[in-house]
């Protein structure tokens, strides 16, 4: 077992790369997964659930590479309760300095019906698979999926079996976000009190946010004796998401007076990784999101503003700098040089190599020529342009639109497809619709547009627009993002960004590819 028995310590288990990626459309590339894992490792996350190795060759490779590159964090892989999954998981994580196998099975009546196992048959399966995992790795975590809807006597029985078989961490998942704080605390408290051997393992909590109580349920579980919280950056995850890492970490820090537990997370790195996860997942953070939302430290009410000027503590229980927000918002412009841009981006949490800086500097100059003043939020948007030059088969080369109150709106589009330029003119119900019709004319597809959102990055008529789109084709859901001072151009780039992601998803699921889709309904 790699964890200490420090009763004041809460271990942070991040599953952004596994459960978070299960959000429809949130699939990340191999390089993006490695980047996020590196940021999690750097900020002091204790355990990183890097993926589900049996799901695909791509997932296996990502978990394996993350394991090889990790410096401090425990690297965990997920495996269902069968020997093939567990062997594949171990193969992926075995090179980590601190590997962990996480195996699970659904124990509630509803989930027992899926593999059609009796209680005794499932108990035997748990003993066999946890024992097998423990023979491979000395750090094994076991989860009874849908634990909060499992019969109490049976839950105690299977938890005891897993402990005797060698599990060092017992995770209690609220898989469907069903429980409430008082139940969450009592469940952990009773398990620790009543299950033989419970005092020798770490109990963990894994909460979903279907009723909006994931953070509260996780903190209640800690009060009940859990010492590991499973969470994701920005609360990313299937359905309504998971417990948000930034929320539980900052709650424990700010209210240490009534929650006397600590984590090892460097909170000043929260904002940077929040922004990066939002970018690579294509899931923008809602403005009023706790801790990392755009409005989390904004004050508009006159009474609030007056109080802030007199003493920030009047209306702020934490400082922006506590989560990595700059206390100043210095303006950049077209006369700013590379050194100033590098320094500013570093302050915002972006460390760039020389080649990256060269590319960003060109785009910064283009933006500065169109905007009189470039603010911090403009630079953050610039860093999430939603383009991957190495993998993008579709590229917008030029776009001109005609709009107005008279007649149909028109879009003249030139787009490169696999390096070859094609052009078309299409009409539509508005300039954005005409532009999307033009893209579809050059690159025919059956994907349906499920979501189209536009947000202004800053104030003013020259503000950049950040556009997010979500598209679905044959069960594949992808998202795209882009930003530009021209809303129609940003829309076109976001649409094409989503299509490029769709092309990748098509290739992965095509016959003969090295990636096979897994039934995610079997995963907690």
Question: Which one-letter DSSP state was computed for residue 357?
Answer: H
Query: What DSSP line would sit under 107-154, residue for residue?
Result: -SHHHHTTTT--HHHHHHHHHHHHHHHHHH-S-EEEEEETGGGS-HHH
Pairing state between β 409-417 and 420-428: antiparallel
Among 270, 272, 280, smallest CA distance to 348 is for 272
> Cα–Cα distance between 368 and 440 in angstroms, integer?
31
Cα→Cα distances 49→45, 265, 300, 361, 423, Å:
10, 16, 40, 35, 45
Beta carbons within 8 Å of 208's beta carbon, 6+ residues apart: 174, 175, 176, 177, 214, 237, 238, 239, 240, 241, 242
> Cα–Cα distance between 25 and 244 in angstroms, integer?
19
Beta-bridge partners for 76 = 49, 100
Q: Residue 255: how many CB atoms within 10 A of its CB?
A: 12
Q: Is residue 363 within a helix (H) or strand (E), and if so which, with residue range?
A: helix 354-370
Structure tokens at 245: 């890492």
Structure tokens at 31: 């390089």
Q: Does the annotation flag 242 for ligand binding?
A: yes
Q: Does the annotation flag 208 for ligand binding?
A: yes
Query: What DSSP line would sit under 266-318, residue for residue?
Result: -GGGHHHHHHHHHHHH--PPPTT-TTTSTTTT---SHHHHHHHHH-GGGT-SS
CA 107 to centroid of chain Cα atoms: 27
> Cα–Cα distance between 213 and 186 in angstroms, integer?
16
Among 259, 292, 209, smallest CA distance to 10 is for 259
Beta carbons within 8 Å of 219's beta carbon, 6+ residues apart: 181, 248, 251, 252, 259
Q: Does the annotation flag 391 for ligand binding?
A: no
Pairing state between β 228-231 and 202-207: parallel
Annotated binding site: 19, 206, 208, 242
Annotated binding site for Mn(2+): 19, 206, 208, 242
């Amino acid at each position: 077992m790699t964890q200490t028995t420090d009763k004041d310590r809460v271990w942070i288990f991040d599953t952004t790369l596994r459960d978070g990626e299960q959000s429809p459309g949130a699939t990340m590339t191999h390089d993006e997964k490695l980047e996020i894992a590196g940021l999690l490792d750097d900020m002091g996350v204790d355990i990183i659930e890097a993926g589900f190795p049996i799901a695909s060759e791509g997932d296996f490779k990502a978990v394996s590479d993350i394991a090889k590159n990790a410096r401090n964090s425990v690297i965990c892989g997920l495996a269902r309760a069968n020997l093939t999954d567990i062997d594949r998981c171990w193969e992926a994580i075995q090179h980590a300095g601190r590997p962990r196998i996480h195996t699970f099975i659904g124990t509630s009546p509803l989930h027992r019906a899926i593999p059609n196992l009796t209680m005794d048959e499932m108990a035997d399966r748990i003993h066999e698979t946890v024992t097998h995992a423990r023979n491979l790795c000395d750090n094994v975590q076991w989860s009874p999926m849908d634990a909060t809807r499992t019969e109490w006597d049976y839950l105690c029985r299977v938890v005891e079996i897993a402990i005797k078989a060698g599990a060092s961490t017992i995770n209690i998942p609220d898989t469907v976000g069903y429980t409430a704080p008082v139940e969450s605390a009592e469940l952990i408290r009773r398990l620790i009190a009543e299950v033989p051997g419970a005092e020798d393992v770490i109990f963990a909590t894994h909460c979903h946010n279907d009723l909006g109580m994931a953070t509260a349920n996780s903190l209640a579980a800690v009060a009940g004796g859990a010492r590991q919280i499973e969470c994701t950056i920005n609360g990313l995850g299937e359905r309504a998401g998971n417990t948000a890492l930034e929320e539980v970490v900052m709650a424990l820090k700010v209210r240490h007076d009534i929650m006397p537990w600590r984590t090892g997370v460097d909170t000043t790195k929260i904002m940077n990784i929040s922004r990066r996860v939002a970018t690579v997942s294509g899931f923008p953070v809602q403005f009023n999101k706790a801790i990392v939302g755009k409005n989390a430290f904004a004050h508009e009410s006159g009474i609030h503003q007056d109080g802030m000027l007199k003493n920030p503590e009047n209306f702020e229980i934490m400082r922006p700098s506590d989560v990595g927000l700059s206390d100043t918002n210095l303006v950049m412009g077209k006369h700013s040089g590379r050194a100033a841009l590098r320094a500013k981006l570093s302050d915002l949490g972006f460390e760039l190599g020389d080649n990256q800086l060269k590319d960003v500097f060109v785009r910064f100059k283009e933006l500065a020529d169109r905007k009189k003043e470039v603010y911090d939020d403009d630079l953050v948007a610039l860093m999430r342009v939603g383009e991957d030059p190495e993998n993008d088969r579709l590229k917008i080369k030029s776009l001109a639109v005609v709009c107005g109150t008279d007649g149909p709106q028109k879009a003249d589009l030139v787009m490169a497809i696999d390096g070859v330029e094609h052009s078309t003119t299409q009409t539509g119900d508005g300039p954005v619709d005409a532009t999307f019709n033009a893209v579809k004319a050059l690159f025919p597809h059956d994907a349906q547009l499920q979501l189209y959102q536009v947000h202004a990055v800053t104030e003013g008529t020259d503000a950049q627009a950040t556009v997010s789109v979500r598209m679905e084709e044959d069960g594949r859901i992808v998202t795209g993002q882009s930003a530009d001072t021209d809303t129609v151009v940003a829309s076109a780039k976001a649409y094409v960004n989503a299509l490029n992601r769709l092309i990748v998803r098509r290739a992965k699921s095509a016959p003969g590819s090295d990636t096979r889709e897994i039934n995610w309904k079997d995963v907690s």
